[in-house]
Amino acid sequence: MSDQATAEAIEAVWRLESTRLVAGLVRMVRDVGLAEDLAQDAMVAALAQWPADGIPDNPGAWLMTTAKRRAVDTFRRRERGERAYRTLAQEVTEEVTEDSILAALDHVEDDVLRLMFLCCHPSLTPEAQTTLTLRLVAGLTAREIARAYLTTESTVAQRLVRAKKTLASAGAALEEPSQAERAQRLGTVLGVIYLLFNEGYAATSGPDWARPTLCAEALRVGRILAALVPGHAEAHGLLALMELQSSRLVARVGPDGEPVLLADQDRSRWDAGHLARGLRILTQAEELADEPGPYTLQAAVAACHARAASTAETDWVRIAGLYERLARQTGSAVVEVNRAVALGMAYGPEAGLLLVDQLADLPALRHYHLLPSVRGDLLSRLGRHEEARTEFARAARLAGNERERTLLTRRARDLGMSP
């Protein structure tokens, strides 16, 4: 295997294993910052050793063993944490086996879920809670988080530093939270799972249009969470949304990795299992609440697409109404952009353009690439091609994802202009 191929394989292993690695280490060393440092140290060791020795058969176990040994060294140097040192030292003696490492990785299934609740500790601000969880649990970079929040990378980096310091100074309990603590933190945890899934469904940056492993991880944790709170409507609403959206993942990407937009997707490739589960869980969510919450409303939108044989046969009037209710609940400018799309499909492009033009000066959307993209599409449908080309070119410049940028550039070029 070439050095480049090995480096790419190691990066893939890190994406798959980093969350469980950090989560397991937090349980062991009782320190979020130290756990993250140890995980990164293990990764550095892998980068140094694996190109020469080859990637081990069980890379997750290798990383965990290496991180635990580094933890022992850290506790020894600091001459503190004797109890933790003794526990860890016993686990990295010659008696350590692959089975014991795998048991540590699979602990309760949910070192990961425990880590999510820890990151949503009440000593942190809501912004810090979500940011820390996206960093530690989802493995997103500061740049990816910044784009998800429509803020700057430096703001996210500062927020992460402050969050870790706050957790350390608060002496945050690292055990699994009580039922009362879960209830207090549940809304934030749901929000984090939602953002994690969205990053997988439409990556904010990088060479891939979608990151299915992130969607799978969000779905896995969402299923665990829904089982823990069976009477919580929005936990089921979010799970329904993720199941329904997951059904389209394969159809959203062409043979060369290029984006395939909803109108162009082969709906026979939508996953029937995800669709059936999503629709069933949506019914549960709707039965659990008198008034559907934001995740349930979004799942209802996804269900409209799931039930339609084509874009033309989709109930766009219902979708526009659902987005209107969602906008009232959330006050989200991004939801309003989605509503503009639905209005344009339900009542004609002029109706959608009227709303888009009202959103143009909102600070939160100033660098949001989908606003000019939507405007370009509406203008193109009205035959205003010169204006549409300008909007698609602007959207391409703002897009962080390489595949999406290429798509938008092509749409501008197809109308006669290269951005």
> Residue 387: what residue type?
E
What's the pLDDT at 277?
97
- Contact between 263 and 344 under an 8 Å Cβ cutoff? The reply is no
HEC-encoded secondary structure of 232-281: CHHHHHHHHHHHHHHCCCHHHECCCCCECCHHHCCHHHCCHHHHHHHHHH
What's the pLDDT at 336?
97
What's the pLDDT at 87?
56
Nearest to 39 by CA among 7, 68, 4: 68
What's the pLDDT at 249?
96
Contacts of 2 (CB under 8 A, 6+ apart): none
pTM given for the model? 0.72
CA dihedral 112, 114, 117, 119 (to 10 degrees): -60
Cα dist from 53 to 49, 50, 56, 69, 89, whole Å:
6, 5, 8, 19, 26
What's the pLDDT at 376?
97
CA atoms of 40 and 67, how far apart (whole Å): 8
Q: Tell me: the pLDDT tens digits for 22-68? A: 877 877 777 777 888 888 888 888 888 888 888 888 888 888 888 88
Q: How far apart are the first and last CA of the chain?
A: 39
What's the pLDDT at 200?
87
Nearest to 92 by CA among 82, 104, 81, 80: 104
Q: What angle do CA 232, 238, 239 make, to 5 degrees?
A: 90
Domain locations in the chain? Answer: 3-107, 109-208
What's the pLDDT at 99?
47
- Contact between 233 and 288 under an 8 Å Cβ cutoff? The reply is yes
CA atoms of 252 and 77, how far apart (whole Å): 51
* Tokens encoding 53: 């020795």
* Tokens encoding 103: 């048991």
Contacts of 108 (CB under 8 A, 6+ apart): 114, 176
H-run or E-run covering 195: helix 179-201
CA atoms of 396 and 262, how far apart (whole Å): 19
What's the pLDDT at 71?
81
What's the pLDDT at 94?
42
Q: What is the mean pLDDT of the chain?
A: 84
**pLDDT profile of the chain (419 residues), mean per 10:** 72 76 77 80 85 85 86 68 52 44 42 79 83 80 77 89 82 62 81 87 83 86 86 97 97 92 95 97 96 97 97 97 97 96 98 96 92 97 96 95 93 74
